[in-house]
């Protein structure tokens, strides 16, 4: 009131304040009613880490790279007799794969370094516990999270084919067909790639980019 000094019309600020609150009232509120309505998480949300046990070779890369050292792995070796081979092969068998989510800082390094895609992000985040010890998920529990792993995002139609696919397609086409193979990459894809969610129809495309 009295401290207005050299400011403009007296009372202008008061009216502006009223306008702000009134405008806010007419807008939709941004409150998310979480327990009643599931939140819409963005793609690649980091909720919990899932383990695909068959893919794990016990290479220990994840456990070693983990900044918190929150991955515990135990294994033993088994001999596998391969008929026709000179001697028995050795195979690592996973005994224990625990992730302690009370230590995990969700950096995702373990998932990045895993060479065989045994670890995956899932957007599930509702695994709070009343006892901190229960945050140690064993391999069974980590394996159950696999059900919640979203399918990988579709390939960019305009993107370059991956190196593996390009090489495979070139080999399949035989020597001297390098330039032709490049154009055929997309048609060759279903045969070279074994991923389940590949787009089904190959898209015929001209070598030059579309105008």
Q: Determine the interface stretch with other proteins among 29-37, 47-55, 126-134, 168-176 (rule: CB under 8 A).
A: 29-37
211 binds other proteins (CB under 8 A): no
- Out of 25, 85, 86, 157, the only residue in the binding site for other proteins (CB under 8 A) is 25
Per-residue binder mask for other proteins (CB under 8 A), 103-132, x = binder: ------------------------------
Q: Where are the beta strands (DSSP E) in the chain?
A: 48-51, 71-80, 89-100, 119-122, 136-137
20 binds other proteins (CB under 8 A): yes
Q: Is 70 annotated as ligand-binding? A: no
7 binds other proteins (CB under 8 A): no
Q: Is 110 annotated as ligand-binding? A: yes
- Out of 6, 8, 21, 130, the only residue in the binding site for other proteins (CB under 8 A) is 21
CB-based contacts of 105: which residues, under 8 Å, 6+ apart? 67, 68
- Out of 9, 31, 206, 211, the only residue in the binding site for other proteins (CB under 8 A) is 31
User: If we measure between CA atoms, which residue out of 183, 179, 186, 180 comes closest to residue 156?
Assistant: 186
User: If we measure between CA atoms, which residue out of 118, 109, 127, 110 comes closest to residue 48?
Assistant: 127
With H, G, I as helix, E, B as strand and everything else as coil, classify residue 210.
coil
For residues 59 and 136, the answer to whether their CB atoms sit within 8 Å is no
Quote the CA–CA distance of 139 and 74 in Å, as a whole number: 11
- Tokens representing 59 are 């290479």
Shortest approach of other proteins to residue 136 CB, angstroms?
A: 35
CB atoms within 10 A of CB 189: 20
Cα dist from 207 to 116, 180, 182, 185, 211, whole Å: 33, 9, 8, 10, 12
Contacts with other proteins by CB under 8 A: the residue count is 15
Site for other proteins in 154-193 (CB under 8 A): none
27 binds other proteins (CB under 8 A): yes
- Out of 6, 8, 9, 29, the only residue in the binding site for other proteins (CB under 8 A) is 29
Q: Which residues are annotated as a binding site for [4Fe-4S] cluster?
A: 56, 59, 62, 66, 104, 107, 110, 114
Interaction site with other proteins (CB under 8 A):
1-2, 14, 17-18, 20-22, 24-25, 27, 29-31, 33
Q: Which residues are annotated as a binding site?
A: 56, 59, 62, 66, 104, 107, 110, 114
């Amino acid at each position: 009131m009295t401290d207005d000094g050299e400011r403009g019309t007296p009372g202008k600020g008061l009216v502006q304040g009223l306008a702000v609150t009134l405008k806010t009232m007419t807008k939709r509120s941004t409150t998310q009613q979480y327990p009643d309505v599931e939140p819409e998480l963005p793609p690649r949300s980091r909720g919990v880490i899932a383990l695909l046990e068959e893919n794990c070779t016990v290479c220990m890369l994840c456990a070693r790279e983990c900044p918190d050292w929150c991955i515990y792995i135990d294994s033993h070796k088994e001999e596998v007799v391969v008929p026709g081979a000179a001697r028995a092969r050795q195979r690592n068998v996973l005994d224990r794969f625990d992730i302690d989510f009370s230590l995990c800082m969700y950096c995702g390094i373990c998932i990045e370094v895993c060479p065989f895609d045994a670890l995956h992000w899932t957007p599930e985040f509702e695994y709070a516990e009343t006892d901190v010890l229960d945050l140690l998920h064993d391999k069974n529990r980590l394996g159950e999270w696999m059900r919640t792993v979203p399918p990988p995002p579709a390939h960019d139609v305009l993107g370059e084919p991956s190196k593996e696919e390009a090489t495979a397609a070139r080999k399949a086409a035989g020597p001297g067909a390098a330039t032709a193979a490049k154009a055929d990459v997309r048609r060759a894809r279903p045969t070279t790639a074994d991923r389940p969610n590949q787009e089904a129809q190959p898209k015929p495309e001209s070598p030059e980019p579309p105008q």
